[in-house]
């Protein structure tokens, strides 16, 4: 593991413990100067951004719909899938909704490692493949 990655992981651990950001930065500067690693600062920032993005993706729920008005009547099943993904609606925060122009209707849900495709497009493709495959 690279030194920048180690520093970034240490910073994340401190943030998760609730250490104030000002203290983390002040102590990081002291440690980097002491070990002659000041040139690592930009790489540490990049690694830290990557770790934060990975964590955000792991806890984020995204509901893709064909049209904005579909989001209002999104199926109740979404909360079941969020619970299966270990992201109950209360803990996961808001489910981000986005319009996907490739969808005909229905919805798709991405939450952590869970992916659910309840779109009309998938259903129509399944019917099409079944019909074509049987001939």
H/E stretch holding 15 reads helix 3-17
User: Do 31 and 10 share a structural domain?
Assistant: yes
Q: From CA 135, how far away is CA 123, in angstroms rounded? A: 19
User: Do 130 and 65 share a structural domain?
Assistant: yes
**45: domain range?**
3-58
pLDDT greater at residue 114 or residue 17: 17
Question: Per residue in 20-43, pLDDT tens?
Answer: 989 999 999 999 999 999 999 999
Q: What is the value of pTM for the model shown?
A: 0.55
Question: Per residue in 86-99, pLDDT tens?
Answer: 665 544 456 778 88
User: Do 126 and 65 share a structural domain?
Assistant: yes
Question: Per residue in 67-87, pLDDT tens?
Answer: 777 666 665 667 766 776 666
User: Do 65 and 117 share a structural domain?
Assistant: yes
End-of-domain residue from the set 58, 80, 101: 58
């Amino acid at each position: 593991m690279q030194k920048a990655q180690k520093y970034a992981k240490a910073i994340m651990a401190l943030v998760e413990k609730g250490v104030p950001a000002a203290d983390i930065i002040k102590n990081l500067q002291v440690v980097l100067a002491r070990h002659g690693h000041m040139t690592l600062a930009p790489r540490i920032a990049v690694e830290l951004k990557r770790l934060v993005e990975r964590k955000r993706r792991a806890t984020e729920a995204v509901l893709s719909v064909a049209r904005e008005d579909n989001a209002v009547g999104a199926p109740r099943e979404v909360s079941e899938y969020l619970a299966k993904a270990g992201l109950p609606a209360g803990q996961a925060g808001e489910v981000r909704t986005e319009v996907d122009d490739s969808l005909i209707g229905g919805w798709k849900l991405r939450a952590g490692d869970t992916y659910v495709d309840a779109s009309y497009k998938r259903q129509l493709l399944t019917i099409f493949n079944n019909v074509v495959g049987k001939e």
